[in-house]
Amino acid sequence: GKSEEQSMVTPAVPSNIKMRRCGYCMVKQPMRARHCQLCQHCVRRYDHHCPWIENCVGEKNHPLFIVYLSVQLVVLLWAWYIAWSGLYFEQSWDWLQHNIFLIVSFLLIVIFTIFVLLLLISHLYLVSCNTTSWEFMSHHRISYLKQSDLENPFDQGVILNLWRFFC
């Protein structure tokens, strides 16, 4: 018998869902695990393979990935502030020639800031729903989600999802 806390953390698997064996590693995969083709190993609670950190984001490093995105955002906002403070607008061709590098840098910083902000918001939303990027994008292909009665069998409410993820 499972304890009450264990049954709250791990949703019951429907009886018609069989545990899978990884076709590459030959390891018995628990729910939410997936084999990463780029890393060549299985990852528990697989979220995605991130080209920025050259590694998979999964059960053990997903909170650190959120911290990484937050730090990236702070650094980009700081760079945005510094680039903006260096711009003194004048309407002359000579001014534009001397400040073109700063203007291009400022525009790149704005683009990267928007990208990182959207990525952080989307990951925080998925964390609050207790779902992974892989589950969100491939809901229709994952056996334990296709055959579940609930839309997301892992969702336990926003507060509890965030508490379990970060704590």
Calpha distance 158→165 (Å, rounded) = 11
Catalytic site includes residue 50: yes
If we measure between CA atoms, which residue out of 111, 125, 121 comes closest to residue 155? 125
pLDDT for 8 equals 44
158 Cα distance to chain centroid: 16
Per-domain residue ranges of the chain? 61-164
Name the least confident of 11-25, 32-46, 50-64.
11-25
Task: Provide the whole-model pTM.
Answer: 0.77
The residue whose two tokens read 């809901």 is: 139
pLDDT for 139 equals 78
Calpha distance 124→105 (Å, rounded) = 28
The pLDDT tens digits for 70-111 are 999 999 999 999 888 877 766 666 766 777 888 888 899 999
Q: Which of 50, 56, 129, 167 is catalytic?
A: 50
If we measure between CA atoms, which residue out of 28, 31, 49 comes closest to residue 148? 31
113 Cα distance to chain centroid: 16
DSSP alpha helix (H) spans, 28-142: 62-86, 93-128, 133-137
